[in-house]
Amino acid sequence: MATVVVDVMPKQAILDPQGQAVAGALGRLGFAGIAGVRQGKRFEVEIEGEVTEERLAELRRAAETLLANTVIEDFTVRVEGAETEV
Protein backbone atom coordinates (compact mmCIF):
# COMPACT_ATOMS: atom_id res chain seq x y z
CA MET A 1 0.00 0.00 0.00
CA ALA A 2 1.43 3.34 -1.06
CA THR A 3 0.32 6.83 -0.19
CA VAL A 4 0.02 9.50 -2.81
CA VAL A 5 -0.18 13.07 -1.55
CA VAL A 6 -2.20 15.69 -3.39
CA ASP A 7 -1.52 19.24 -2.22
CA VAL A 8 -4.06 21.87 -3.22
CA MET A 9 -3.27 25.57 -2.80
CA PRO A 10 -5.20 28.73 -3.65
CA LYS A 11 -3.71 30.46 -6.69
CA GLN A 12 -1.52 33.44 -5.93
CA ALA A 13 -3.93 35.82 -7.64
CA ILE A 14 -6.86 34.65 -5.51
CA LEU A 15 -7.60 36.27 -2.18
CA ASP A 16 -7.02 33.82 0.71
CA PRO A 17 -8.94 35.18 3.71
CA GLN A 18 -8.20 32.05 5.77
CA GLY A 19 -4.46 32.43 5.29
CA GLN A 20 -4.71 36.12 6.13
CA ALA A 21 -6.63 35.33 9.33
CA VAL A 22 -3.96 32.81 10.35
CA ALA A 23 -1.16 35.29 9.58
CA GLY A 24 -2.94 37.93 11.66
CA ALA A 25 -3.35 35.54 14.61
CA LEU A 26 0.31 34.51 14.47
CA GLY A 27 1.32 38.17 14.59
CA ARG A 28 -0.95 38.80 17.59
CA LEU A 29 0.61 35.80 19.35
CA GLY A 30 4.02 37.39 18.97
CA PHE A 31 5.47 35.14 16.28
CA ALA A 32 7.73 37.60 14.54
CA GLY A 33 8.95 37.74 10.98
CA ILE A 34 5.95 36.14 9.30
CA ALA A 35 5.33 37.96 6.05
CA GLY A 36 2.26 35.99 5.03
CA VAL A 37 0.42 32.67 5.21
CA ARG A 38 -1.52 30.85 2.55
CA GLN A 39 -3.75 27.98 3.56
CA GLY A 40 -4.41 24.96 1.36
CA LYS A 41 -5.47 21.35 1.62
CA ARG A 42 -3.49 18.10 1.72
CA PHE A 43 -5.08 14.83 0.60
CA GLU A 44 -3.44 11.51 1.45
CA VAL A 45 -4.69 8.94 -1.01
CA GLU A 46 -4.07 5.27 -0.20
CA ILE A 47 -3.30 3.29 -3.32
CA GLU A 48 -3.84 -0.45 -3.65
CA GLY A 49 -0.89 -2.24 -5.22
CA GLU A 50 1.91 -0.63 -7.17
CA VAL A 51 2.09 3.06 -7.96
CA THR A 52 2.46 3.10 -11.71
CA GLU A 53 2.62 6.04 -14.07
CA GLU A 54 -0.85 5.02 -15.19
CA ARG A 55 -2.24 5.20 -11.64
CA LEU A 56 -0.59 8.58 -11.10
CA ALA A 57 -2.09 9.88 -14.32
CA GLU A 58 -5.48 8.73 -13.07
CA LEU A 59 -4.90 10.51 -9.74
CA ARG A 60 -3.96 13.71 -11.51
CA ARG A 61 -7.24 13.41 -13.39
CA ALA A 62 -9.04 12.88 -10.06
CA ALA A 63 -7.34 15.93 -8.58
CA GLU A 64 -8.32 18.03 -11.55
CA THR A 65 -11.89 16.71 -11.55
CA LEU A 66 -12.73 16.85 -7.86
CA LEU A 67 -9.96 17.58 -5.35
CA ALA A 68 -9.03 20.96 -6.79
CA ASN A 69 -11.05 23.64 -8.53
CA THR A 70 -8.46 24.73 -11.06
CA VAL A 71 -10.26 28.05 -11.53
CA ILE A 72 -8.99 29.12 -8.11
CA GLU A 73 -6.55 26.42 -7.01
CA ASP A 74 -3.32 24.73 -8.13
CA PHE A 75 -2.42 21.18 -7.16
CA THR A 76 0.60 18.89 -7.04
CA VAL A 77 0.67 15.09 -6.90
CA ARG A 78 3.56 13.16 -5.35
CA VAL A 79 4.23 9.75 -3.86
CA GLU A 80 4.69 9.92 -0.09
CA GLY A 81 8.39 9.66 0.72
CA ALA A 82 9.48 10.57 -2.77
CA GLU A 83 11.70 13.62 -3.01
CA THR A 84 10.06 15.26 -5.96
CA GLU A 85 6.70 15.90 -7.41
CA VAL A 86 5.65 13.42 -10.08
What DSSP assignment string belongs to 19-66?
HHHHHHHHHHTT-TT-------EEEEEEESS---HHHHHHHHHHIIII
For residue 66, state whether it binds another protein (rule: CB under 8 A): yes
Among residues 34 and 72, whose Cβ is nearest to another protein? 72
Rounded to 10 degrees, the C-alpha dihedral 72/74/80/85 comes to 180
Residue among 1, 29, 32, 71 that touches another protein (CB under 8 A):
71
Of residues 10-39, those binding another protein (CB under 8 A) = 10, 13-15, 17-18, 20-21
The nearest distance, CB 85 to another protein, in angstroms, is: 22
Among residues 46 and 50, whose Cβ is nearest to another protein? 46
